Structure 1
Amino acid sequence: MAEPLKKGKKACTECRQQKTKCDVYLNPKEPCTRCRKVNANCVISDPFKREHKRKRLSELEHETKDLRRKLRASDSADLNPSPIPPLTAATNLTPRTESNSNLIHGESHIPPSLYPTQLLAPGGMGNTLLTPGPVPALEAGATRGRSLHGVEVSGDEIDDLFQLFFRHYAPFLPILNPDTRPDTYYAQSPFIFWCLIGVSCRAYIRNPTLLMALARHVIEMAFLSALSTSPPWHTIQGLLLLLTWPFPKGDHPDVTFQLGGMLLHIAMGNGLHIPMSSHEFSRVKIPVPSEGDLVRRSELWAHTVIVYQRLCMIKGQLPRGLVSPSQDPRQYQPPFDTIAPWLVLRLRCQELIVRCSESVSENGVRSMSIEQERALDALLHTCEGHVDDLDLQAITEDDRFDTGLCRMAIQSFHFYKVQTLVSSSFYPHVVATACDLIDHVQSLADQRPGCVAMCPIQISFGLLLASTSLLRILKSTASHGLDTSRARSSLFTAINIAKQMSVDRSDLAAKTTRVLTSLWNSSRAFHKADGGECTAMRIRSRLVLSPVLDAVWWWKDEFDRPSRAVRSSMEPADRSALMHARYGGAVHTGSGLGAGMNVNPDIAGGMMVPPSSTSELNQNSVFQLDEQFLADFEWALGGDPLFSLDPLPADWTCTSNTP
């Protein structure tokens, strides 16, 4: 008699799972009736354990969602990463040390997989959970070549330029994602793509023709980007790049000042200036930004303000402050407490320059009495005390460069003084600051040979401001007793660095080299016609830039051959008629505004000066106010009436006080 089946093997696993009757025991070699009917796999298994159907379904659903989320994240990282990672948002979580400081700002501590997918919504401020607009699928492989108005750039060149940018340029302005492919950048925003190409080709040896070939076309794209329907952060990013590394002046006018205003207003129009309420500036209803969004918006706004205020300083204009005293500070302070420390320090340095410039303007710059000059001394002393406080927060070499440039900008206002210029004994402090600033730039050149041409505009301007200040002091008789050997060495170092910085003969560095070299070898620079020393500046309306422009005009008066040829061709009678038509023969005002003041046409715009200083200023050699040269030097900004004057004749001076 056959042994009966064990109780545990009377049914197959499928029937046991469904708790249905199973007849597999009748013929163990054949599937049971139910399994044959539903076409299931009929198996008898000892270790079988019945599963909870609903629990298993829930687990499968969660597993499916998790796989989909990972797939979306993978696609985003590979094909469509955002060009705005929070590259500086987490730098304050890791303390910085001297070992990683070389005038290049911190790399991100956030892995690429955690980059946000969006910063701004297409119509304004958005939430990082939203996804950007559709981007065409790009096949992996070689980068496609691109062309802009007939200027061809091959795929290999694009790859080289992107690598060059993220290796040498991006650390100065960390706002772009280095893991984004060039084709993806182009698909998201052709403007950002060409801005990045235009910046990185400054020192591209394989094709040195690209820089000037692309310059005008990229600038035209910058102005047209304000009309673009693309997300506004693309425009903000592109403008930040162009204003940090502006193109040399070629066949296009200098429009960096205009682009700076456009940058600020686009950022404000999208609520970046109020990060906590930026969602209120969107044309569509979007979620309130998260804490991480606030930090990223705050950092992008900080970059915008720094670039805008720096540009105004370089152009000799008074910029708009970051926060008005009448505005609620609670809207601004919380986010700025969490952004990167080096970014906060740079922001505070620029704000200090703005406040100092405003106070100096209120004190008066056109003509100052001795009381005003003493008040200026007290004001600058107070501002330098604030720089000392900022110095205590400077950890790295790049931090110290920022505070050094801030101190140099503030000390440049000492040159506005006439009556207390020498007695105030500020020359030793200016020499020390200027030499330190040049040493910082030299250290960068030593650490990264061949990369000086990639420095952003604040470094080249700091070099120019420091070197012209040293030149003016070394040409002065008051330089006796100073450490002139170090000052001379630093001046010559600045000239050599400027040569390395130059990427085109029309750029700022090339003109700096030409002006400094000529003035150093000149026996007439900063001297009157009779050989006496000229201590008063004749450019007095351009704030921090005035000492630089004043030196440039000394160079122009002696070495600018085209202007000298034009004025020498004029007859003496024509020159006199020109001056009479320009100034009406009136160099003294008897009543009303400016009564008792002498108008000296030797000084920019016929400025009014106190009678006590007129005798000295009237003996100065005369500048030729050539509008084209100022445009060539990239600082003719049209807002000051002195730039509309015609060149003054070489032999014309006005010493008469007769109405």
Structure 2
Amino acid sequence: MSMSYNASPSTMRTQQSGQAGAEYMRPHEAVASLLDLKSGGDFLRSPPDHMIDVKRLEDVTVHTDRVAELFNRFFTYYHPFLPLLETQKSSDEYYDTSPLLFWTILAVGSRRYQTDPSLLNALSGPVLRLVWSTLADVPQSYHVVKALALLCTWPFPTSSTSTDPTFMLCGMMQQIAMQIGLHRPSHAQDFSKYRVELREGELKDRVRTWAFCNIVAQRVATGYGQPSSTLFDCTLSSTEADLRLPPEVKVRLQIEKFCAKISQTLYSNRRDPVGVLSDEERYIMAAVLSRDFDDLEAQVKTETNSITNVYLRAAGLHLHLSIFFDNPTTKDYRQGLSALFLATTGFLEAALGLETPTGPVLSYCSNYVYQMTLAAGFSLFKLCNSFFAVHIDMNYTKSLFTRTIYALRNMSVTNNDLPQRLAEVLAQMWRMNGIGSRNHQIQRQQGNIGPSETGDSLMLKVRCRMSMSLVFDSVWRWREDFQARGKNFEAYLKNPTNPDSGADSSASCSSTAPIRTSTSTPAPGLEGLSTGPAADPTLTTPAITAGPITANLGSSTATTISGFNSSSLPSGFLEQNYEVFDPLNWMLDGLVEFPYAIQGLEV
């Protein structure tokens, strides 16, 4: 493992009774045990007066040896994507510092945990309730900001964007950070009525936390297509020894600053109802930003590892997705599409080939990487089904698109979560309307390819979600077509569509590609992939090769996670009465006569 974690040296604490041979608790010990359980104590007592060291949240109990294992998993697989915490601290130290941070680390570490696949589901409700009860207390500790940053980076699985609290938690994270003066770490006293004495190293930790607070806030804003609440102030650019950021953190901060610059420049026009610049202004500013990206790439080259490179490529994709707002008659429109294609393939190559000393780790990636992978998949689909297709190596692109579907499915951690559902949407769009499908061939034979020949097919109807408008717009179009066909989406989730099949039929559910057979950690050398037949073997190699996919797609039955199905998702994630209009949720959740039913739940 690339990063070791120092667990607490003791895993079991035992007290010997004063009377040898005692078989039962004495009355005062029974009372003490009940008090421990009520207050969330760290010990469970059992005859003859043994005290087992455990951690407990509501009705979830985790033994110390499992705590150490989950912490080790977190710092090995997840921490490299967001190196916010200190690896040398023990689990007991984190628990004493902030119970919310402790349980959040356990929750993230329990994703894809083979030993107890149901643990993530068991923790979801109690941890979220702990979040809201903790936020109700004022003032807050800055360690709560760390917990919120982790929850925004790896949210609990949900099948609907309307029940995803990530964007709301992100705003609270930023506001709490400023309320306690995290943006002015050397003047913490100004934000407290009590005397503040910072211990050795705490000043640097506060600066680091403030930096990652802004990094996470920008990634959430980019991935959800919303304005950001970042504050890239002088604290984050200070050269003082106590305030200076480590090189790795500084590089990632530079990348997110550039992403913020893209959003503010291209999607914050006060003269336009949707905030988009005019075609002429956008052309000029996009050219300036492209040169800035080249400069950024040159600056961070020496400090870029494989994960940082993925974030850098995501920034490039975020920039070039703006071409979908352009009119096809705009100057150098084809050059813009070429730049988008290069940015899309560059990001996917970096993401699908993501590997660290522990092996391939894409399935452990942050929610932001998943969102950008989804956007890249829709970008490939759009370009391949437009007039620009003649400029594309279709064999390479088809191979890359198929591998993108497999990658999205491997990012799924529970049945019926958003990565699984949207990967199926993308696969259906490709099979029913993509290059090589029967529909496309019939249209070409009949000469009904007019819109794509003029570039109209690349225009967006949804234009208020910044670079993510492409995703929302594509799902809107899919829903219109899907509803017209009268299909049942749940049948496709049980028998996933094979995007590599060119035939288009009413029974287009492929019986050869189960979504996921395990959430476990694969054997050495296969980390980050499903171990079942659904895994795409090509995902284990860093390089993407052109040519058709030859992977064996496996058996015909989609296996669910042991002890975990969609009916076991937190009740808050299954609420069907929404007051907030959400186009993506509307298309996936069965409103407006769309057939939708979660397994085990009648709607």
TM-score of the aligned structures, taking structure 2 as reference length: 0.65
Task: Tell me the residue number matched to 1:348.
Answer: 254
Task: Tell me the residue number matched to 2:168.
Answer: 258
Structure 1 residues 530 and 213: CA distance shift in structure 2, 3 A: farther
Task: Tell me the residue number matched to 1:97.
Answer: none
Q: Once the two structures are aligned, what percentage of the paired residues are identical?
A: 24
Q: Aligned ranges for residues 215-614 of structure 1 at < 5 Å? A: 215-228=124-137, 232-249=141-158, 253-287=163-197, 293-323=202-232, 329=234, 333-334=238-239, 338-363=244-269, 372-392=278-298, 393-395=300-302, 396=304, 397-420=306-329, 423-444=333-354, 448-449=358-359, 451-523=361-433, 532-533=451-452, 534-559=457-482
Structure 2's unaligned 5+ residue stretches are: 9-40, 45-49, 490-572, 595-603
Structure 1 residues 509 and 367: CA distance shift in structure 2, 3 A: closer
- Structure 2: distance between partners of 1:643 and 1:137: 41
Give the 3-state SS of the residue equivalent to 2:61 in structure 1: strand
Give the 3-state SS of the residue equivalent to 2:133 in structure 1: helix
TM-score of the aligned structures, taking structure 1 as reference length: 0.60
CA contact (8 A) 1:198 1:215 kept: yes
Give the 3-state SS of the residue equivalent to 1:322 in structure 2: coil
Structure 1 residues 343 and 411: CA distance shift in structure 2, 3 A: same
Structure 1 residues 642 and 142: CA distance shift in structure 2, 3 A: closer
Whether 2:49 is the aligned partner of 1:144: answer no
Deviation at 1:323, TM superposition (A): 3.9
Q: Which has the larger radius of gyration?
A: 1
Deviation at 1:434, TM superposition (A): 1.2
Deviation at 1:564, TM superposition (A): 7.4
Structure 1's unaligned 5+ residue stretches are: 1-99, 113-135, 567-630, 651-659
- Structure 1: distance between partners of 2:360 and 2:317: 26
How many residues end up aligned between the 2 structures? 451
Deviation at 1:231, TM superposition (A): 5.7
- AA partner of residue 358 (structure 1): Q
CA contact (8 A) 1:169 1:200 kept: yes
- Structure 1: distance between partners of 2:575 and 2:428: 15
Query: What value does the CA root-mean-square deviation take over the aligned residues?
Result: 4.2
Whether 2:99 is the aligned partner of 1:194: answer no
Structure 1 residues 142 and 250: CA distance shift in structure 2, 3 A: farther
1:541-582 Cα shifts (integer Å, max 9, x gaps): 00021011111222222235899799xxxxxxxxxxxxxxxx
- AA partner of residue 453 (structure 1): S
1:438-495 Cα shifts (integer Å, max 9, x gaps): 1112222586456432212232122122221111111112221223333322222211
1:371-390 Cα shifts (integer Å, max 9, x gaps): 92122111111112111111
Give the 3-state SS of the residue equivalent to 2:335 in structure 1: coil
- AA partner of residue 408 (structure 2): A
- Structure 2: distance between partners of 1:368 and 1:304: 26
Give the 3-state SS of the residue equivalent to 1:146 in structure 2: strand
Give the 3-state SS of the residue equivalent to 2:65 in structure 1: helix
Deviation at 1:408, TM superposition (A): 0.5
Give the 3-state SS of the residue equivalent to 1:521 in structure 2: helix
My pick for the range that moved more, 517-526 or 485-494, is 517-526
Give the 3-state SS of the residue equivalent to 1:163 in structure 2: helix
- Structure 2: distance between partners of 1:386 and 1:640: 34
Structure 1 residues 446 and 435: CA distance shift in structure 2, 3 A: farther
- Structure 2: distance between partners of 1:483 and 1:633: 44
- Structure 1: distance between partners of 2:102 and 2:405: 34
Higher relative contact order (CA 8 A, sep 6+): 2
1:8-65 Cα shifts (integer Å, max 9, x gaps): xxxxxxxxxxxxxxxxxxxxxxxxxxxxxxxxxxxxxxxxxxxxxxxxxxxxxxxxxx
Match of 1:214 among 111, 114, 123: 123
CA contact (8 A) 1:143 1:182 kept: no
- Structure 2: distance between partners of 1:387 and 1:632: 41
- AA partner of residue 371 (structure 2): F
